[in-house]
Amino acid sequence: MSAGELAVAGLGLVAPGVSGPEEALTLGAEAAPGWFRAEVALPGRGYRRLPDACKYLLAASRLAVGDAGGRFAATERNLRGAAVAVNNTGAALLEELDHIIMRAGAEEMSPSSSPFIAMSSFASRLSMEHDITGFNLTVNSPVTAGLEALQIAARAIAAGRARAVLVGAVEEALSPAQSTCPGSEAGAAVLHCEAAVGGHARYGTCRARSAFLDPDAAASNVAAALAPLVGVDPPGRIDAVLDDSAVGTAAARWLDRLTGACEVVLVPSSAQAGCLVPLRRVMGLFAQEHTARTRRAVLAASAQGTIAYAELTVAPRRATGVGGGDVLVV
């Protein structure tokens, strides 16, 4: 299913080991203690006791809104929206709250963190931060949720429910007791999105589509699921975020057929993957330098059978000149 096209006007990324969207394609670094400085990213009152994942999301959203140059604030508050992807986001927090209840009782739970037992609280707090009254939605699924959030945003804008939507994905590193493998995701990525027609496509435009592939019949049904998503004219490059499940393996083998037609970049995903990496790939592809419009795509699939595909038309990258004007990078 396709839900229309989005213009991308702003990018914001908060993640360990990276300094901004232009580094979003680099492999994720371990979330070492102290990697995120909340007092720098979120100056002011009211943030100190929020869960770490919420701080990541708010910081990334500030960067995206600022990168778009005030366009979000210029949009009527009832026509602002938010679509936030989460997966492992609250897992470590829930474990911590469980331990507090068992050791000291529920009355010792922090009034600032306990509302985040509900995963929708992350999008709600984002809406409070940016005075969003149009809608906020939470998308909760492994791997594909960030790309599905793009699809939801496009559908809402096409229906006239919003003119500007913050599309984000946020993850918190799993605790040592929860993680079965190293490298669980941490950080947040947020895109400022508008309608492609009449919007500000500073970085380019994006279409997102989704499908389902039954894991028990993945090998035989993969073409029926992927062919309509990719279409008959594949882009120049597809970044595929796949694990070694039946669905991921079938998708990788199908993509082998595109050799010669486009470049396929396989991005390994673990069984405990969150939803941040695919949206980071979208952001990283938008942030790359090109001298002409360039088509790119990100494909993500989960072991549970969800598949999402985002196709991008990346605008020529412009750098700011000495005099404050835009200079095409050549």
Q: In this structure, what CATH number is given to the domain that contains residue 183?
A: 3.40.47.10
- 14-28: per-residue pLDDT in tens? 999 899 999 999 876
Residue 218 and residue 153 share a domain: no
- DSSP 3-state assignment of 212? strand
Question: Are 5 and 207 contacting, i.e. CB atoms less than 8 angstroms apart?
Answer: yes
Asked if residue 262 and residue 148 are part of one domain, the reply reads no
Q: Per residue in 65-79, is it b (16+ CB within 10 Å) or e — as a string? A: bebbeebbeebeeeb
Residue 161's pLDDT is 95
| 182 in the same domain as 281 | no
Q: Is residue 320 part of a domain?
A: no
273's CB contacts (< 8 A; 6+ apart) are 87, 142, 143, 185, 241, 243, 302
Distance CA 258, CA 217 (A): 22
Q: Please indicate, yes or no, whether residues 224 and 131 belong to a single structural domain of this protein.
A: no
Q: Is 70 exceeded by the pLDDT of residue 92?
A: no
Whether residue 325 is contained in a domain is answered as no
Residues 186 and 221 in one domain: no
Question: Is pLDDT at 2 greater than 50 in this prediction?
Answer: no
3-class state of residue 190 by DSSP: strand
Q: Is residue 296 a part of any domain in this protein? A: yes
Which residue would you say has higher pLDDT here, 227 or 108? 227
Residues 6+ away with beta carbon under 8 Å from 221: 213, 214
Residues 246 and 197 in one domain: no
| 156 and 270 together in one domain | no
For the stretch 287-297, pLDDT in tens is 999 999 999 99
Residue-range definition of the domain harbouring residue 281 = 206-314
* Residue 37 and residue 20 share a domain: yes
70: pLDDT strictly greater than 70: yes
Is residue 79 one of the residues assigned to a domain? yes
Statement to judge: residues 174 and 230 lie in one domain: no
Q: What is the pTM of this model?
A: 0.89
Domain count, the chain: 2
